[in-house]
Amino acid sequence: MMNLYEIARYLEAHDNYEILTHAYPDGDTLGSGFALCLALQQTGKKARVITTGVPSKFVYLKDGVSEQSFDAQTIISTDVAADSLLGSNTEKYVGRIDICIDHHGSNSLTAKHKFVDKYAAANCEIIYKLLQRMGVKITKEIANCLYTGISTDTGCFRYTNTTAETMRVAASLMDFGCDTAYINKAMFETKSREKIQLEHAVYDTISYCAGGRCAVIYTTLDMVKRLGIGDDEMEGLASIPRQIEGVLIGITMREKEDGFFKISVRTNGDINASDFCAQFGGGGHPAAAGCTIEGDLDSVKARLVEAAERFL
Amino acid sequence: MMNLYEIARYLEAHDNYEILTHAYPDGDTLGSGFALCLALQQTGKKARVITTGVPSKFVYLKDGVSEQSFDAQTIISTDVAADSLLGSNTEKYVGRIDICIDHHGSNSLTAKHKFVDKYAAANCEIIYKLLQRMGVKITKEIANCLYTGISTDTGCFRYTNTTAETMRVAASLMDFGCDTAYINKAMFETKSREKIQLEHAVYDTISYCAGGRCAVIYTTLDMVKRLGIGDDEMEGLASIPRQIEGVLIGITMREKEDGFFKISVRTNGDINASDFCAQFGGGGHPAAAGCTIEGDLDSVKARLVEAAERFL
């Protein structure tokens, strides 16, 4: 485990960075990646961010990033908790990562050096502190990246991972000119027509078990195809079942192409989502975790319902 | 205009306080009132909060408040912008208010002394600063009151009124032990099953006009009766149409018992909701306004659609 001062010195001593983000990228991994890239470029280093594709709602995170041509020498990962989460980049990069910066307590990524702070609400909170130790000027573009990661990973400061420190970092980013009006509107107050239709369809799938303490929703490939939904529209669905009064375990099942369901679990109270998902080989945070299960809709749902009734 | 030091000294010099809140009370007026009451009681003063009724979701704000018997000598108002907003308490108190503490720029309340800061996102932000000048210890109960006001008036820190200062005050309240997990869950992350069903039913009513720049949703008496929905479940529906991508005018129509529809209009960009509603004898804020229109569903909707197409 390196500390943030040591990472800052390491970054000073090396060059030609590739910054890895996780598959199905969210605001935190992309915000971390692009903020760090901007910071490295500001200090005269060469750097690029490697993604599995930037969803259209996040393209503003690239503002100010220069496209640079170089042979990669140093590999950093941001917000990547496990080798497999590199997605299509796994084979190319696994085992080659020099520094892993993450906020998942369960981090198992293969990397030479690591900094993992599970008390950081967002990985961008860590990146903010790293940038201070690098002596980087927090530009409006960097502030936008970091605010995006922090606000999206905390549900705009409403999830229980939000700390006083999270609020203070966000306050500083606002002092540095981040465009909270644009970001909050785009992240939290805008839904595409397709997303509205998807939510509508998903509401039809709500079922309850364990006496109303568990709610399950799902999407199927058919639904997604019929509505013409992109993968980035699927984000946020997982918060629906947990919001229902009396629900302790909210489960969202997404059918994938390969015969698997991607399961997102969100919990209330002291129910541990990560422990729940561990039963299926998954993991995550105490209140938000995930796993994948092979099978058809009915059988996967039956296994989850049975597990929930046992768990509660 | 008194400053907050002067108000603190005034509160020290007087006693037997009644603290007024506005009618249809929200988290900010109640949070302000109960926080100030707790603070005054802590300094050995007698104090009570006067409301038009505390909705059940806000009863925790009374935690720690002592019921005291005394003849009122000093009247303070918190978050009350105009005489009429005292509701059923107007007649009794208007003209008797010693100090008005508010954050509405439009404040027109009759009061001997005033402190109005329109840059405060919530009145509770002002009360926090006043309590510091009073030398009061910020207990967990006071912190809960103030956090409730700040978080509800900012949509949990996502509305454009949120400033870096707002975030820092919230951070301090978290240091003082406020129960953000409970408050955020209760205010922002809980929907009854009935509310979920209502949203589902409302999604069925979405229609677009003006080339997708206007979206209309509605509820009918039939829908509300069939789902067994109370009036407090209707809150928040109006934000649905404005959230849809590309929509500049979001219109929500609610059928009332008397042959009228209550219309809520929410706008994006520089479309003025108040001007739009003025066409129907209504009004409000630039981005959120309302009016009532008599008629049946189809005719009222047709008038709104025609008005929207003319307006855009």
pLDDT tens per residue across span B71-103? 999 999 999 999 999 999 999 999 999 999 999
Q: Which of A147, A162, A185, A242 has the most B C-beta neighbours within 10 Å, making it the best mutation to test the interface with B?
A: A162
Whether the pLDDT of residue A232 is over 80: the answer is: no
Which pTM value belongs to this model? 0.88
Residue A227, chain B, CB below 8 Å: the answer is no
Structure tokens at B92: 């009794």
Residue B200, chain A, CB below 8 Å: the answer is yes
Give residue B134's pLDDT band: very low, low, confident or very high (50, 70, 90).
very high
Between A170, A190, A206, which is nearest B243 by CB? A190
Return the residue of A nearest to B198 by Cα: A203
- Separation of alpha carbons A290 and A282, rounded Å: 6
> What values do phi and psi take at A99, rounded to 5?
-135, 130
Buried/exposed code over B155-167 (b: 16+ C-beta within 10 A; e: otherwise): bbbbbebbbbbbb
Query: Residue A242's closest CA among A221, A271, A219, A220?
Result: A271
pLDDT score, position A278? 95
Contact criterion met (CB < 8 Å) for B200 and A204: yes
pLDDT score, position A168? 98
pLDDT score, position A96? 97
Strands A207-209, A99-102: pairing is: unpaired
Residue B260, chain A, CB below 8 Å: the answer is no
| Least confident stretch, A169-173, A188-192, A274-278, A298-302 | A188-192
Tell me what the mean pLDDT of segment A104-114 comes to. 95
| Cα distance from N-terminal residue to C-terminal residue, chain A | 36
Contact criterion met (CB < 8 Å) for B167 and A164: no
Query: Exposed, middle or buried by CB within 10 Å (0-12, 13-18, 19+), for B113?
Result: middle
Measured CA to CA in angstroms, residue B206 lies from A234, B12, B76, B196, B223 at distances of 20, 56, 45, 16, 14
Between A157, A167, A203, which is nearest B200 by CB? A203
- Report residue B150 CA to chain centroid gap: 10
Contact criterion met (CB < 8 Å) for B196 and A159: no
Distance in Å, alpha carbon of A204 to nearest chain B alpha carbon:
8
Buried/exposed code over A93-126 (b: 16+ C-beta within 10 A; e: otherwise): beeebbbbbbbbebbebebeebbbbeebbbbbbb
Contact criterion met (CB < 8 Å) for A156 and B157: yes
Tell me what the mean pLDDT of segment A123-146 comes to. 98
B151 CB neighbours in chain A (<8 A) are: 158
Query: Exposed, middle or buried by CB within 10 Å (0-12, 13-18, 19+), for B267?
Result: buried
Query: Exposed, middle or buried by CB within 10 Å (0-12, 13-18, 19+), for B7?
Result: buried
Distance in Å, alpha carbon of A272 to nearest chain B alpha carbon:
15
Return the residue of B nearest to A268 by Cα: B185
Whether the pLDDT of residue A263 is over 90: the answer is: yes
**ipTM score for this prediction:** 0.88
| The residue type at B220 | T
pLDDT score, position A1? 85
Return the residue of B nearest to A201 by Cα: B200
Structure tokens at A184: 């909050």
The residues that bridge with B294 in the sheet, in sequence order, are B260
Whether the pLDDT of residue B232 is over 80: the answer is: no
Of chain A, the percentage scoring pLDDT greater than 90 comes to 87
- What letter would DSSP give residue B62? G
Give residue A295's pLDDT band: very low, low, confident or very high (50, 70, 90).
very high
- Separation of alpha carbons A171 and A193, rounded Å: 33
H or E segment and range at residue A182: helix A180-188
Query: Residue A205's closest CA among A240, A247, A245?
Result: A240
Q: Where are the domains of chain B?
A: 4-188, 193-311
Tell me what the mean pLDDT of segment B282-290 comes to. 83
A243 CB neighbours in chain B (<8 A) are: 189-191
| CATH number attached to the domain at B4-188 | 3.90.1640.10
Tell me what the mean pLDDT of segment A186-203 comes to. 90
- Separation of alpha carbons B52 and B55, rounded Å: 10
Tell me what the mean pLDDT of segment A40-53 comes to. 97
Q: Give all strands (DSSP E) within chain B, no chain letters.
A: 17-20, 47-50, 74-78, 99-102, 113-116, 207-209, 214-219, 249-255, 260-267, 283-284, 288-294
Number of Cβ within 10 Å of residue A16's Cβ equals 16
Measured CA to CA in angstroms, residue B50 lies from B21, B86, B147 at distances of 6, 10, 20
Residue A204, chain B, CB below 8 Å: the answer is yes
pLDDT score, position B114? 97
Whether the pLDDT of residue B33 is over 90: the answer is: yes
| CATH number attached to the domain at B193-311 | 3.10.310.30
Number of Cβ within 10 Å of residue A270's Cβ equals 8
Of chain A, the percentage scoring pLDDT greater than 70 comes to 100
Contact criterion met (CB < 8 Å) for B162 and A180: yes
The residues that bridge with A192 in the sheet, in sequence order, are none
pLDDT score, position B287? 82
- Separation of alpha carbons B143 and B149, rounded Å: 10
Buried/exposed code over B48-82 (b: 16+ C-beta within 10 A; e: otherwise): bbbbeebeeebebbbebbeeeeeeeebbbbbbbbb
The structure tokens 């955020």 sit at: B184
Between A167, A192, A206, which is nearest B167 by CB? A167
- Report residue A268 CA to chain centroid gap: 19
Distance in Å, alpha carbon of B151 to nearest chain A alpha carbon:
9
